Amino acid sequence: MELLSGADMIARFLQDEGVEYIYGYPGGAALHIYDALFRQDKVKHILVRHEQAATHAADGYARTTGKPGTVLVTSGPGATNAVTGIATAYMDSIPMVVLCGQVASHLIGEDAFQETDIVGVTRPIVKHSFAIRHPSEIPGVLKKAYYLASTGRPGPVVVDIPKDMTAPTERYEYVYPKKVKMRSYNPVTRGHTGQIKKAVELMLKAKRPVFYTGGGVVLDKASDGLTDLVQTLGFPITTTLMGIGSYPQSDKQSLGWLGMHGSYESNMAMHHTDLIIAIGARFDDRVTNNVSKFCPTAKIIHVDIDPSSVSKTVRADVPIVGPASSVINEMISLVQGKKITSPDALADWWQQIEGWREERLGKLYEPSRSGEVLKPQEVIEALCAVTRGEAYVATDVGQHQMFAAQYYKFDKPNRFVTSGGLGTMGFGFPAAMGIKQTYPDDDVICVTGEGSFQMMMQELSTCKQYGIGVKIINLNNASLGMVRQWQDLNYKSRHAQSYMESLPDFHLLTQAYGFTAITVSTLDELAPALERVFADKHELVFLDVKVDPFEHVYPMHVPLGSMRDMLLSKTERT
């Protein structure tokens, strides 16, 4: 029998669970745990410079590996600083376990120093939370936390650990729990066969079908199956922002992604479709625009692991609750050897789609002329070319995020990492750090803007400490670009607080941390600069690109319109 303190149980459990990295920041209530981690060498602790960065780094790790990210923070401000990252993971269904130190149990409720009811604070933004009541519970509770975070619809789980639960003087029996029993939690492992048969019948009869797939396909590692199914049927496919890469974007059946800033052809196809096959997508408001005008002629098949997401905003004609991978595999076996009822109608549908594609060819943006300031779209296209579309790209939130999604072509899942649901500025850089540590020999890029980068720029210090060679591409338009775009469109260009009037010299800032910085402002300078950026995979380089401050992101949904109601440029709309 092995006797361990609560803190040593946590350290040992993390080893037994196969946790590689724990991202965190120490403080009084977590010091027993930190001491236990110091006395082992299997789990590597990464000391960030702000707790929000710890959650985003763990999030980037989780999104690209499929394993839960792990965070350790102290009580009070340590825990509340992690709230934004917990909410970011929750909105995008990302598996994460957040271990929070707490004041000693006899002080809870006394307004003790650095006390916050973090279970109460995070209740709306976690999948579940636990508070440790006795050290002997720790292995069982942690096993449940990792199981809950990574099964069913994934999400963050908070574990609140009072300091006296980890005291080195009290020891209890430690056994690593190999199994989990939770009476009230039984995530589905396959869809209803009858409903899947109904769905396949509709698919074979459809004349204007469209696949609409989201982050659920990526999370459930169902991309290969999806690609087989879509190519077997010959249907067009569009994805959400979170679903980018779930189907190869360079394939002719891909219409790109849809919604607020989605491609013209994908939004037009969705509006005119007679059958939507939605898999692992939740009909988010950034996709649907006005729900009452959404896809008026379409029947809807909706596949999702989370029963509460099905028919939540848009009613499904064939609801299927189940994991994307198993439902897709069952659909593949049902369509094999079967013929679609109206091949001529499908051919006409493709002709219509090709017409929409051609309408926009060469009209996506006005390229810069020699010596003129760069267009942000050109930077992303050059970035895609130099990395052959194979990099991991983590973005912050704003115009640069939309340009990255529109102009970098992703053929693999888990390569585009962004905050979709919460839209968290400051996400991209720490997420890229979490990815780069896991995939040190790959190109990992943070596409950011000067507004977002300043929210987490202190993490340059973390990169210095651990030798994390992220490539930072700053599309610098000296403003909060997306805010300014909305002000141009809706507030007669009254740019209230959207201009950044006192930006740092990013060159000097980067050099202060001991890294290389390059500044670029014209197309002629861009190619040699990118060559230098990617010369060494293990070196952090900051590329500050001065881009056209007046450029907008198009297409853009007309507010309260249907899927086909779009602004196509500053002067043109559908």
Of 386, 402, 342, 400, the residue nearest 530 (C-alpha): 386
Q: Exactly one of 9, 13, 51, 401 is catalytic; which is it?
A: 51
- Region at 295 (left for phi over 0; alpha for psi -120 to 50; beta for the rest): left
Give me the catalytic one of 20, 67, 114, 205: 114
Listed in sequence order, the residues at least 6 apart from 279 whose beta carbon sits closer than 8 Å to its beta carbon are: 211, 212, 213, 214, 216, 217, 222, 226, 303, 304, 324, 327, 328
- 366 counts as catalytic: no
Give CA–CA dist 88/79, Å, rounded.
Answer: 15
Q: For residue 51, indicate whether it is catalytic.
A: yes
In whole angstroms, what is the distance from residue 421 CA to residue 409 CA?
21
Closest CA to 261 of 556, 489, 61: 556
**Across 192-296, where does the E strand assignment appear?**
209-213, 237-239, 254-257, 275-279
Reduced 3-state DSSP string for 405-420: HHHCCCCCCCCEECCC
| Residue 163 annotated to the active site | yes
Determine the Cα–Cα distance for residues 372 and 366; give it in Å rounded to an integer. Answer: 12
Cα 98 from Cα 149, distance rounded (Å): 10
Q: Is 511 a known active-site residue?
A: no
Distance CA 7, CA 28 (A): 13
Q: Which of 113, 358, 363, 550 is catalytic?
A: 113
How far is residue 569's CA from residue 546's CA, in Å, rounded to a whole number? 22
- Is residue 123 within a helix (H) or strand (E), and if so which, with residue range? none
Which DSSP symbol is given to 168? T
Which tokens sit at 254? 């891909």
Most distant CA pair in the chain: distance in Å?
77
Q: Considering Cα of 31, then 35, then 38, then 42, what sign does the dihedral take?
A: negative
Q: Which of 166, 13, 41, 181 is nearest to 104 (CA)?
A: 166
**233: its two tokens:** 């049927």
249 assigned to active site:
no
Structure token pair of residue 204 = 């074979």
Identify whether 77 is preceded by a cis peptide bond (ω within 30 of 0): no
Q: Which two tokens stand for residue 407?
A: 């102009």
Give the distance from CA 123 to its chain's centroid: 21
Distance of alpha carbon 26 from alpha carbon 7, whole angstroms: 14
The catalytically annotated residue of 144, 163, 299, 436 is 163
* Exposed/middle/buried for residue 302 (C-beta within 10 Å: 0-12, 13-18, 19+): buried
> Of 242, 456, 482, 566, which one is the catalytic site residue?
482
Sign of CA dihedral 17, 19, 23, 29: positive
Question: How do beta strands 254-257 and 237-239 pair?
Answer: parallel
| Residues annotated catalytic, as ranges | 51, 113-114, 163, 482
